[in-house]
Amino acid sequence: MNSPPPFVPTDSILTGVGASTGIAIGKALVYNHRDLHLPNYQLPNANLVPSELERLEKAKNQVREQLIASRESLPLALNSQAGIIDAHILLLDDPLLTGEANYLIREEHRNAEQAIACTLNKITTLMKNVTDEYISARLADVEIVGYSIITALLNNAASQLPNIPAGSILVVQDLNPAEVAKIVATKVAGLATERGGATSHTAIVAQALELPTVVGLKNIASRVVTGDTIILDGRNGHLIIRPNQETLTFYRTRQEMEWSFNAEIVRSAHLIAVTLDGHRVIIMSNMELEEELPAVMSYGSEGIGLYRTEFMYMNRKTLPTEKELFEVYRRIVESLAPNPVIIRTLDLGNDKIVESAPLVPLELNQALGLRGIRYCLHNRALFKTQLRAILRASVFGQVQIMLPMISNLDELRTTQAIISDLERNLKKDDQPYTPNLPIGVMIEIPATVFIARELAKEAAFFSVGTNDLIQYSLAVDRSNPEVSDIYQPLHPAILRMLHQILKIGRKTGTPISICGDISANDIIAPILIGLGATTLSMPPAAVPKIKRIIRMSSFSEMRSWSEKLLKTKTALEASKIATGYFHTKFPELLK
């Protein structure tokens, strides 16, 4: 993260978490849910309890209808929001929220608005003590749904957002899905929120909309008033209030450089990624949902390097059938053909728990428990259904199977045996499939780096999942903000492991890609290539930019920078070198 230049007065800078890159300069539009004027009264007699409960029920139904309507009208870029909206619909009946509010109406005769508001206050108090980012994001969802109910009780639409003038920067606590739907239709220039972390739903939406956004700006509402000129730096997580002329000029220049760079990269998305000195790199996409297919195609990916299949099991009560899975896989494989689709088998467990699948027993240490391949080998019926669907879809294009969380050879061998068995069954059933599909493994448990030679003899390919490799190597929970400063992709141990695995891949002739988040990081991607990575897989929207960076670079230069990095003793030292390289090469992106 870069600091603002020295001429920006420090007392005008607020720092949060950069959730979606880009510079926005505009007038603030501050909207605070808490400013709603809530009626506060005691029901005069107990006879009024049923009608107050009914009023609450009606408001809930109104919010439900609005949520369903906004789900149906989601623009393509926001398809990942569908799951969040479904979760909000479920929250409408959550005992933590409306259960408690019903109790306050029944037992304490509170009016419905206050019953919800009191419940939300309790939740907010609870949230203050929660450090787990995931739990606090879920509690924030409860709050968003609660405020939607209150606005419905006040006979307002679920969103009270005022009209947003084009070019303004919206400053809010957080957004509910109805509000998200509303901002999509505006020409808002940026978004600043008090709540949320890098993985909050607001951050996800902002990235999908490519809207400069900073989240987690504590107390922002008390520092900024509507009409203030503000600058938002979504890359570095800064918000600058009432900038002076020098600051404005500096950020305007940076903004123009970014715009012209972005226009150029989108125009050239379909060109291949080859360095100035002729070194070819394959750039593929990670995807979670079929709905992302148009983005995958339009951003110029050369196939799917990681299809995270667990998302099809989420937000439903029953497991998907073989037929359902087959049809989705077939459509994806057919659309991408002749480019490959690497289908990763279910990676459930840890934080990826779904309602439809047999429960993972409650484990003390879920990250080290029944996750990924271990879960599937314990739930064979579910695993076989998925594998049969993949095998059947294989005849429609280029399918490869990838196994997550492999820690030893036995897991690979057992899965290969299951697949051979399924092939025999399919033959018996006269179902077409492609025999001998490439079966590869994820390198995301540190031990696999050290048994890579043995794995290479039996696996068709490797894909390095750096999100988990870093988590397990450095013993840092990847979703815990308390330890985010020691989640260090450029830690010497990580760089050396990457170097080693890439070398083994090259020596054994095993195709190897890197599919963790660092592949999409414009500072780290050139380093990975310098270390020897020839395939990177990343979210579709990152593809054009990384391709462009590669086309503007020379491989021999990237290699010599990476060699320097390999000699560093700390992540900080490595980060300085990597950022320095980026500064000199791409001043359009960083200044």
Binding site for ligand PEP (CB under 6 A): 306, 308, 347, 444, 465-468, 515-516
Pairing of strands 273-274, 280-287: antiparallel
For residue 517, state whether it binds Mg ion (rule: CB under 5 A).
no
- Kindly write out the interface string for residues 520-559 of this chain, putting x where it contacts Mg ion by CB under 5 A and - elsewhere: ----------------------------------------
For residue 468, state whether it binds Mg ion (rule: CB under 5 A).
yes
Residue 113 binding partner per list ligand PEP, Mg ion, none, with a CB distance cut-off of 5 to 8 Å that depends on partner kind: none
Using the minimum distance from each CB to ligand PEP, give the nearer residue, 188 or 348.
348
549, 520 contact by CB (below 8 A): no
The minimum distance between CB 536 and ligand PEP, in angstroms, equals 12
Site for Mg ion in 28-57 (CB under 5 A): none
- CB atoms near residue 80 (< 10 Å): 18
Given 33, 88, 201, 238, the catalytic residue: 201
For residue 233, state whether it binds Mg ion (rule: CB under 5 A).
no
372, 344 contact by CB (below 8 A): no
Site for Mg ion in 381-420 (CB under 5 A): none
Using the minimum distance from each CB to Mg ion, give the nearer residue, 115 or 442.
442
Tokens of 55: 């009023």
Alpha-helix residue ranges (DSSP H) falling in 268-408: 293-298, 322-336, 373-378, 380-393
Using the minimum distance from each CB to ligand PEP, give the nearer residue, 170 or 527.
527
Using the minimum distance from each CB to ligand PEP, give the nearer residue, 164 or 515.
515
The minimum distance between CB 308 and ligand PEP, in angstroms, equals 5
Using the minimum distance from each CB to ligand PEP, give the nearer residue, 194 or 444.
444
Verify whether residue 201 is a known catalytic residue: yes
The interface region with Mg ion, picked from 218-226, 327-335, 460-468, 501-509 by CB under 5 A, is: 460-468
Q: Is the dihedral of CA 532, 537, 540, 542 positive or negative?
A: negative
The minimum distance between CB 461 and Mg ion, in angstroms, equals 16
Q: Is the dihedral of CA 338, 340, 345, 347 positive or negative?
A: negative
127, 161 contact by CB (below 8 A): no
Cα-based distances in Å from 517 to 317, 367, 407, 467: 30, 18, 21, 6
Using the minimum distance from each CB to ligand PEP, give the nearer residue, 434 or 467.
467
Q: How far apart are CA 421 and CA 103, in angstroms?
A: 56
Q: How far apart are CA 575 and CA 550, in angstroms?
A: 19
Residue 234 binding partner per list Mg ion, ligand PEP, none, with a CB distance cut-off of 5 to 8 Å that depends on partner kind: none
Q: How far apart are CA 404 and CA 59, in angstroms?
A: 44
| Edge-first strand listing for the sheet containing 169-172 | 13-15, 238-241, 229-233, 23-31, 169-172, 190-193, 213-215, 17-20
Tokens of 85: 């909206």
The minimum distance between CB 118 and Mg ion, in angstroms, equals 41
The minimum distance between CB 291 and ligand PEP, in angstroms, equals 18
The minimum distance between CB 310 and ligand PEP, in angstroms, equals 8
Residue 466 binding partner per list Mg ion, ligand PEP, none, with a CB distance cut-off of 5 to 8 Å that depends on partner kind: ligand PEP
Residue 243 binding partner per list ligand PEP, Mg ion, none, with a CB distance cut-off of 5 to 8 Å that depends on partner kind: none
The interface region with Mg ion, picked from 163-171, 188-196, 324-332, 436-444 by CB under 5 A, is: 436-444
By beta-carbon distance, which residue lies closest to ligand PEP? 465
Verify whether residue 515 is a known catalytic residue: yes
How close are the terminal C-alpha atoms of the chain, in Å? Answer: 11
- CB atoms near residue 50 (< 10 Å): 11
Alpha-helix residue ranges (DSSP H) falling in 15-111: 49-72, 81-91, 100-108
The minimum distance between CB 383 and Mg ion, in angstroms, equals 17
Residue 60 binding partner per list ligand PEP, Mg ion, none, with a CB distance cut-off of 5 to 8 Å that depends on partner kind: none
Residue 515 binding partner per list ligand PEP, Mg ion, none, with a CB distance cut-off of 5 to 8 Å that depends on partner kind: ligand PEP
Task: Tell me the residue length of the chain.
Answer: 591
The minimum distance between CB 571 and Mg ion, in angstroms, equals 20
Reduce the DSSP state of residue 253 to 3 states and report it: helix
In the block, residue with structure tokens 């196939």: 303
Using the minimum distance from each CB to Mg ion, give the nearer residue, 124 or 199.
199
Which of 177, 465, 540, 544 touches Mg ion (CB under 5 A)? 465
Going by C-alpha positions, the residue among 479, 445, 464, 440 that lies closest to residue 513 is 464
575 CB-near residues (< 8 Å, 6+ apart) = 490
434, 401 contact by CB (below 8 A): no
The minimum distance between CB 584 and ligand PEP, in angstroms, equals 29
449, 412 contact by CB (below 8 A): no
Using the minimum distance from each CB to ligand PEP, give the nearer residue, 113 or 347.
347
Q: How far apart are CA 331 and CA 304, in angstroms?
A: 13
For residue 288, state whether it binds Mg ion (rule: CB under 5 A).
no
Given 33, 238, 491, 515, the catalytic residue: 515
Residue 306 binding partner per list Mg ion, ligand PEP, none, with a CB distance cut-off of 5 to 8 Å that depends on partner kind: ligand PEP
Site for Mg ion in 440-459 (CB under 5 A): 444
Using the minimum distance from each CB to ligand PEP, give the nearer residue, 273 or 306.
306
Residue 153 binding partner per list Mg ion, ligand PEP, none, with a CB distance cut-off of 5 to 8 Å that depends on partner kind: none
Residue 320 binding partner per list ligand PEP, Mg ion, none, with a CB distance cut-off of 5 to 8 Å that depends on partner kind: none
Which residues are paired to 343 by β-bridges?
307, 401
Q: How far apart are CA 17 and CA 236, in angstroms?
A: 7
Using the minimum distance from each CB to Mg ion, give the nearer residue, 306 or 502.
306
Reduce the DSSP state of residue 340 to 3 states and report it: strand
Q: How many residues bind Mg ion (CB under 5 A)?
A: 3
292 CB-near residues (< 8 Å, 6+ apart) = 79, 80, 285, 540
Residue 302 binding partner per list Mg ion, ligand PEP, none, with a CB distance cut-off of 5 to 8 Å that depends on partner kind: none
For residue 310, state whether it binds Mg ion (rule: CB under 5 A).
no
The minimum distance between CB 497 and ligand PEP, in angstroms, equals 13
For residue 113, state whether it binds Mg ion (rule: CB under 5 A).
no
**Residues known to be catalytic:** 201, 515
Q: Which residues bind Mg ion (CB under 5 A)?
A: 444, 465, 468
